[in-house]
Amino acid sequence: MAAAAPDAPAGFSEAPAPTATAQPEAGGEDSREVRVLQSLRGKICEAKNLLPYLGPNKMRDCFCTINLDQEEVYRTQVVEKSLSPFFSEEFYFEIPRTFQYLSFYVYDKNVLQRDLRIGKVAIKKEDLCNHSGKETWFSLQPVDSNSEVQGKVHLELKLNELITENGTVCQQLVVHVKACHGLPLINGQSCDPYATVSLVGPSRNDQKKTKVKKKTSNPQFNEIFYFEVTRSSSYTRKSQFQVEEEDIEKLEIRIDLWNNGNLVQDVFLGEIKVPVNVLRNDASHQAWYLLQPRDNGNKSSKTDDLGSLRLNICYTEDYVLPSEYYGPLKTLLLKSPDVQPISASAAYILGEICRDKNDAVLPLVRLLLHHDKLVPFATAVAELDLKETQDANTIFRGNSLATRCLDEMMKIVGGHYLKVTLKPILDEICESSKSCEIDPIKLKEGDNVENNKENLRYYVDKLFSTIVKSSMSCPTVMCDIFYSLRQMATQRFPNDPHVQYSAVSSFVFLRFFAVAVVSPHTFHLRPHHPDPQTIRTLTLISKTIQTLGSWGSLSKSKSSFKETFMCEFFKMFQEEGYIMAVKKFLDEISSTETKESSGTSEPVHLKEGEMYKRAQGRTRIGKKNFKKRWFCLTSRELTYHKQPGKDAIYTIPVKNILAVEKLEESSFNKKNMFQVIHTEKPLYVQANNCVEANEWIDVLCRVSRCNQNRLSSYHPSAYLNGNWLCCLETSENALGCKPCTAGVPADIQIDIDEDRETERIYSLFTLSLLKLHKMEEACGTIAVYQGPQKEPDDYSNFVIEDSVTTFKTIQQIKSVIEKLDEPHEKYRKKRSSSAKYGSKENPIGKIF
């Protein structure tokens, strides 16, 4: 709960919270609508002191993966010939399922054999909050197949009484292995699992085995096994039973899960151990158990010898309530652009109190953008930045709230702009083998530096020419903000004729185009990470484009390069034509003239990637198998191709899509499948992991949300062998047996879930209540003492221009946060009480 407000000092009055409709009672029917949404963002920075090869060539070709339990969801580029590889790759994705561990594996790339796992960093989900928002060095731990487990087992134990032939009474232990859920993929495919069931004690080890289930991560075993045990009244000293009463306390049931390897060795998938004494008070025991590593899973190893990995991780789990709960907080935030001064607004205060401004920027920008409030807010905070800027040459060069808001805005709205401007040329560069190295120290044997210079100049000229002719594709939101920046910069530095250009170029060249060129994968301009030679080429091009933009706008006679070879190369571009082209471009993107919508003339490129599709089976005897294809989605059509850049094999117009839904694993015994239901036969697609599947379903739903004749129900399983597997209807045209999932935001280019963004902001305010309280106290101190008289360190870092207005806003923030605390607390209590320990949602063995 929020801290109690201090007594209001003279001139202050407690401000009421923004008015809104009455909030519904939490814990009632609405509580079922709460959405639990997980996301992960961060950066894989670098590794160091990796274990070298034993031979003369000690270097390794390394890459790093991110895994949810045992499922790989992200992979970095390969860094060649290094024992301290510098990755510097940022990641962000939604997590669509539950998981136990977030793991980072460092691999050594092997061309002829399977890649070697050097070591790993495995973090329990419950411990992720301890590392949030800060860079940390983690020691690499050894990778042992006996410790690589995931999934859970559903088990039931019973005790039955039996009378033996000699008249004694014994107990029969009945073990019912019901099912497993969430077993890992083996070599990218669903496993062939089976279980061994053992009764283990000091003097016995009886083992039995289930049947093998083919190609499934969620096997249904439903097999029952019987073991005989004794009890206190069931034996005499003359009894022939080997297990006596005191040994029953030491008996346990052990279940080991294995993948049937057929011709190769079986793979251990995990185990559970259940003591028989769980039946001491009950005749039966039924529960879900998390699979655990083997006792010898972590063999002794000097982990210091494996090296270490530097990571920045930020995991969030949001409980998004129904929309009506967020009315007061949204109202308060959306009023921010109109608050005078802007530093007293709720949005600005959030940026002040968050430990990391980046945490606040993403949800703020998305929410304000969704309600067309970003331009006035960004303009106001940029004006505050300009007041503090004394030198025109350093304009908008820092990492303030204003610059970060604009960076995030350009990433969100500028995606299509980058694709139509840069992608064709970046594709040419990445698919070409031309060398562009001009550093004499880095030249390879046989390289001609003059030829390399010409190659580099060709690419720079082509890219520069495309950029300066692209003003008509620049999104209107970006143009509106650039116009405001230009006007404010001119007013702040009236005697500097170039500042009107540098104010715009510092964003569009330095923070937008140059960054996208050097890391095209981050901006979805390339499907894969470029190889090291291409990265070097892109780095040289990016440096030149960045300097061309700033140098041309400032009309400098000298470049800012430190390297002699770059200074020499840049002399090729010191011509008046380049200066005039940059100025003309900056004039065009910062004018008030109406631009054409960037999506009207060409289809918007939304997503592409490699997945598997099931053959359509157009002939009765055709084999319906799965084939790897390259999928491409635009705002007009979904296509797949044999390879990127090749002609489409199959096309589905977006207007023909009727629904996009997940497909049950049991249909084809494959995980991460979804179906595109359209006017012809459904298209069944398998993604490479759960994150990728979730992203494709989301973007396909968004692009087709407004289609006419969208289905209200669908079949969650496939139509095979003359009937639907889900409902057994025989007609291929039978109505669906399950309601379609709820709609998603309709905006194709800007996917914004405003309730989720508001929930994230609520969480940030909640985490920063102590700092908010200090800011509130600072307002009172300033009002009473007319300035910082005592202990300025407590609040000197806050920007407080108007203490009275700021105090009132803080009061409103605390009021709406307290009101939102109530439904959140009720939901948490209901969630914790509803998930019984041992249930599928809360299995035994889960670590809290």
pLDDT digits (tens, 9 = 90+) for 769-809: 999 999 998 888 876 655 544 454 455 578 888 889 999 99
Q: Helix 374-388 to helix 476-492 angle, to the nearest 10 degrees?
A: 30
pLDDT in tens, 276-301: 888 877 778 999 999 988 864 444 44
- 622-636 per-residue burial string, b: 16 or more CB within 10 A, e: under 16: eeeebeebbbbbbbe
Cα 464 from Cα 577, distance rounded (Å): 12
Cα 832 from Cα 835, distance rounded (Å): 6
Greater pLDDT, 116 or 796: 116
With bands split at pLDDT 50, 70 and 90, how would you rate the model's confidence at 529? Answer: confident
**Residue 383: both structure tokens together:** 């004006």
Cα 92 from Cα 604, distance rounded (Å): 22
pLDDT in tens, 545-588: 988 888 544 445 555 677 888 888 888 888 888 989 999 999 99
Mean pLDDT, all residues of the chain: 83
Cα 501 from Cα 586, distance rounded (Å): 7
Neighbours of 711 (CB within 10 A): 16
Cα 309 from Cα 317, distance rounded (Å): 25
Radius of gyration of the chain, Cα coordinates, nearest whole angstrom = 31
Fold for the domain defined by 40-140+306-312: Immunoglobulin-like (2.60.40)
**pLDDT at 624 (0 to 100):** 62
**Residue 575: both structure tokens together:** 């011509």
**pLDDT at 557 (0 to 100):** 52
Cα 96 from Cα 503, distance rounded (Å): 41
Cα 290 from Cα 838, distance rounded (Å): 9
**Residue 401: both structure tokens together:** 């709230």
For the segment 240-261, the average pLDDT, to the nearest whole number, is: 72
Write out the residue limits of the CATH 2.30.29.30 domain(s) in the chain: 605-616+623-739
**Residue 738: both structure tokens together:** 């399950």
Residue 826, classified by CB atoms within 10 Å of its CB into exposed (0-12), middle (13-18) or buried (19+), is middle
Regarding pTM above 0.95, the answer is: no
Tell me phi and psi for residue 630, to 5 degrees: -100, 115
Q: Is 34 helix (H, G, I), strand (E, B) or coil?
A: coil
DSSP labels, 301-369: --GGGG-EEEEEEEEEEEEE--GGGGHHHHHHHHTGGGSSSGGGSHHHHHHHHSSSHHHHHHHHHHHHH
For the segment 505-520, the average pLDDT, to the nearest whole number, is: 92
**pLDDT at 598 (0 to 100):** 39
Q: Is 742 helix (H, G, I), strand (E, B) or coil?
A: coil
Neighbours of 525 (CB within 10 A): 22
Cα 741 from Cα 660, distance rounded (Å): 9
Cα 469 from Cα 480, distance rounded (Å): 18
Spatial neighbors of 435 by CB under 8 A, at least 6 apart, are 444, 447, 451, 452, 455, 533, 537
Q: Which of 291-295, 619-623, 658-662, 730-734 has the lowest mean pLDDT?
A: 619-623
Contact (Cβ atoms closer than 8 angstroms) between residue 463 and residue 545: yes
Greater pLDDT, 757 or 669: 757
**pLDDT at 182 (0 to 100):** 87
**pLDDT at 247 (0 to 100):** 62
**pLDDT at 545 (0 to 100):** 92
Q: Is 800 helix (H, G, I), strand (E, B) or coil?
A: coil
**pLDDT at 848 (0 to 100):** 38
Closest C-alpha among 441, 436, 463 to residue 535 = 436
Residue 813, classified by CB atoms within 10 Å of its CB into exposed (0-12), middle (13-18) or buried (19+), is buried
With bands split at pLDDT 50, 70 and 90, how would you rate the model's confidence at 644? Answer: confident
Write out the residue limits of the CATH 1.10.506.10 domain(s) in the chain: 389-555+564-590
Tell me phi and psi for residue 531, to 5 degrees: -75, 165
Greater pLDDT, 696 or 552: 696
Spatial neighbors of 639 by CB under 8 A, at least 6 apart, are 631, 632, 633, 648, 649, 650, 651, 652
| Widest Cα–Cα separation across the chain | 111
For the segment 440-464, the average pLDDT, to the nearest whole number, is: 90
Q: Give the angle 96-100-105 at the CA atoms, nearest 5°.
A: 90
- Say which residue the tokens 């002609």 belong to: 647
Contact (Cβ atoms closer than 8 angstroms) between residue 589 and residue 474: yes
DSSP, res 235: -
Tell me phi and psi for residue 618, to 5 degrees: -75, -20
**Residue 725: both structure tokens together:** 């597997």
Q: Is 233 helix (H, G, I), strand (E, B) or coil?
A: coil
Cα 147 from Cα 299, distance rounded (Å): 10
- Roughly how many angstroms between the first and final C-alpha of the chain, as a whole number? 23
For the segment 194-215, the average pLDDT, to the nearest whole number, is: 90
Closest C-alpha among 117, 100, 94, 80 to residue 35 = 94
H or E element that contains 500:
helix 499-507
**pLDDT at 28 (0 to 100):** 44
- Say which residue the tokens 């002399």 belong to: 571
Contact (Cβ atoms closer than 8 angstroms) between residue 466 and residue 418: no
- 828-837 per-residue burial string, b: 16 or more CB within 10 A, e: under 16: eeeeeeeeee
Cα 314 from Cα 358, distance rounded (Å): 11
With bands split at pLDDT 50, 70 and 90, how would you rate the model's confidence at 152? Answer: very high
State yes or no: pLDDT of 237 exceeds 70: no
Write out the residue limits of the CATH 2.60.40.150 domain(s) in the chain: 40-140+306-312, 152-231+246-290
Three-state helix/strand/coil letters over 188-227: CECCCEEEEEEEEECCEEEEEECCCCCCCCCCEEEEEEEE
For the segment 666-685, the average pLDDT, to the nearest whole number, is: 90
Identify which of 156-165, 457-466, 745-754 has the greatest average pLDDT. 457-466
**pLDDT at 383 (0 to 100):** 92
Neighbours of 403 (CB within 10 A): 21
Q: Which of 294-303, 674-683, 738-747, 836-845 has the lowest mean pLDDT?
A: 294-303
For the segment 330-359, the average pLDDT, to the nearest whole number, is: 92
**pLDDT at 194 (0 to 100):** 95
Residue 439, classified by CB atoms within 10 Å of its CB into exposed (0-12), middle (13-18) or buried (19+), is middle
Q: Is 760 helix (H, G, I), strand (E, B) or coil?
A: helix
Contact (Cβ atoms closer than 8 angstroms) between residue 79 and residue 63: yes
State yes or no: pLDDT of 847 exceeds 50: no
State yes or no: pLDDT of 423 exceeds 60: yes
Neighbours of 205 (CB within 10 A): 10
**Residue 90: both structure tokens together:** 């940022």
**pLDDT at 168 (0 to 100):** 74
Contact (Cβ atoms closer than 8 angstroms) between residue 605 and residue 703: no
Q: Which of 23-37, 185-199, 669-683 has the lowest mean pLDDT?
A: 23-37
If one looks up domain 605-616+623-739 in CATH, what number appears?
Answer: 2.30.29.30
Q: Is 811 helix (H, G, I), strand (E, B) or coil?
A: helix
With bands split at pLDDT 50, 70 and 90, how would you rate the model's confidence at 744? Answer: very low
Contact (Cβ atoms closer than 8 angstroms) between residue 314 and residue 42: yes
If one looks up domain 389-555+564-590 in CATH, what number appears?
Answer: 1.10.506.10
State yes or no: pLDDT of 350 exceeds 60: yes
State yes or no: pLDDT of 14 exceeds 90: no
CA 423, 428, 431, 436: dihedral to nearest 10 degrees?
A: -110
Architecture of domain 152-231+246-290: Sandwich (2.60)
State yes or no: pLDDT of 673 exceeds 80: yes
Spatial neighbors of 311 by CB under 8 A, at least 6 apart, are 42, 43, 44, 45, 104, 121, 131, 135, 136, 138
pLDDT in tens, 467-504: 999 988 898 899 999 999 999 999 989 988 888 898 99
The partner residues of 634 in beta bridges, in order of sequence, read 605
State yes or no: pLDDT of 841 exceeds 90: no
Neighbours of 718 (CB within 10 A): 20
Greater pLDDT, 53 or 643: 643
If phi > 0 it is left, if psi is from -120 to 50 it is alpha, else beta; for residue 171 that is: beta
